[in-house]
Structure 1
Amino acid sequence: MALIGSRVPLVLMVAIFILPAFALTTEFIVGGEDGWTAGVDYAAWANGKKFFVGDVLVFNYAKGAHTVVKVNGTGFSACQTSPNSGVFTSGNDKITLLTPGNKWYICGVSNHCSYYNQKLKITVMPKMMMWAPAPAPEAGMEPEPAPTGSPCSY
């Protein structure tokens, strides 16, 4: 029985410190109302948005009309995929951002990336723990100054 009781503080610590980090994630619909399609300015869409580890990118498009391909910076610039590229084809692809750093996505269909600029680059920031600051003291309730004088000696 003592073993179970000793685990309660650990479970509480996980609930208090870890679970809120998961609750503070954001789901981004890439391209907003337009979704993932040719002719959208994805650089403008991403501009000003803050992406954090744990957030989710949702790529909505007509299945078969587009794909989402994870590429590196070189593949992004050249609109080229590689055999190791992750390819998504569901039409409702959800990608959880697991690590901080730059992330690049292109459409792998025909010339959608090179001709229509159907590509997205974002920078993912580390997950920050959100703590509320301590409340300011109320007016007239300033703490009393520490006593002055000689320190006690024993």
Structure 2
Amino acid sequence: MHKVMFIVVFGALAVASVLNYGEAQTVHAVGDTIGWIVPPGGAAVYSNWTSADTFKVGDILVFNFITGRHDVLEVAKDSFDACTTDNAIGTSLTDGPAHVTLNSTGDHYYICTFGTHCKLGQKLAVTASGGNGGPPAGANPPSPAGGPSSSNSSPPGGSTQSHSSATAVHVGLALTMASIAITVLHLYWFWLTYL
């Protein structure tokens, strides 16, 4: 009986660790090294950047910009196309770097509202898939500030490096492996002591 309980407990802990690792969010530094600026190549710069990556519900977009020179505002598609703030979703994020969590599947549109920045290409369209079990499209849960889920504080670990997803994956894997190792040692001790 004790051996069966040992196997069940160990198996449940191992499965829980693997599932927790699979739900890790990815932090995306918008524009990689250029950050959130009026791009020298126009809107194609950000379009090319998004096409080189995948985005899931729960991922975090980091808009690296200098406070007072740029901002970030989520808007509806027609406002994105016209570079207007008529259909804003939430309020403008004015302190850089700004962090935005993709909280629903579907298309998300962001612009800079300073001067003609948007018309010069400082706008971003991102499509989020439902990889992390988030709410369906159109089911944006309200954030505490009444806007998109965002903050201007650093994400866990403070990393805003370009495509820091590899770092997040390695840290997540290391924590998962350490958790499994500690669990195995505790169970081995339990086995020796009580069985």
Amino acid at match of 2:54: K
Alignment of 1:96 with 2:101, yes or no, is yes
1:37 corresponds to: 37
Q: d(CA) in 2 for partners of 1:48 and 1:29?
A: 13
How far 1:84 moved relative to its partner?
Answer: 4.3
Q: d(CA) in 2 for partners of 1:88 and 1:111?
A: 17
For residue 54 of structure 1, the aligned residue among 49, 54, 58 is 58
Tell me, what secondary structure is at the counterpart of 1:33? helix
Alignment of 1:65 with 2:69, yes or no, is yes
2:114 corresponds to: 109
**C-alpha contact 1:53 1:97 (8 A) present in aligned 2:** yes
**C-alpha contact 1:68 1:105 (8 A) present in aligned 2:** yes
How far 1:44 moved relative to its partner?
Answer: 1.0
Deviation per CA, 1:83-105, whole angstroms, max 9, x where unpaired?
74331011111011111000000
Residues 39 and 88 from structure 1, CA distance in 2 versus in 1: closer, same or farther, beyond 3 angstroms? same
5+ residue gaps in structure 2?
A: 1-8, 134-195
**C-alpha contact 1:21 1:127 (8 A) present in aligned 2:** no
**Which of the two has greater helix per residue?**
2
Deviation per CA, 1:85-135, whole angstroms, max 9, x where unpaired?
331011111011111000000001111001x11000011000158xxxxxx
2:27 corresponds to: 27
Q: Considering Cα pairs closer than 8 Å and 6+ residues apart, tell me whether 1 or 2 has the greater RCO.
A: 2
Q: d(CA) in 2 for partners of 1:21 and 1:98?
A: 17
Larger Rg: 1
Q: d(CA) in 2 for partners of 1:98 and 1:91?
A: 20
Residues 18 and 75 from structure 1, CA distance in 2 versus in 1: closer, same or farther, beyond 3 angstroms? farther
Q: d(CA) in 2 for partners of 1:128 and 1:93?
A: 22
Q: d(CA) in 1 for partners of 2:52 and 2:88?
A: 30
TM-score scaled by structure 1? 0.68
Deviation per CA, 1:17-47, whole angstroms, max 9, x where unpaired?
863354x211000011110000251001111
TM-score scaled by structure 2? 0.54
5+ residue gaps in structure 1?
A: 1-8, 130-154
Task: Report the identity percentage.
Answer: 33
Runs of 4+ in 1 over 4 A off after TM superposition: none
Q: d(CA) in 1 for partners of 2:66 and 2:110?
A: 17
Q: CA RMSD in A?
A: 2.3
Give the length in aligned residue pairs.
116
**C-alpha contact 1:102 1:122 (8 A) present in aligned 2:** yes
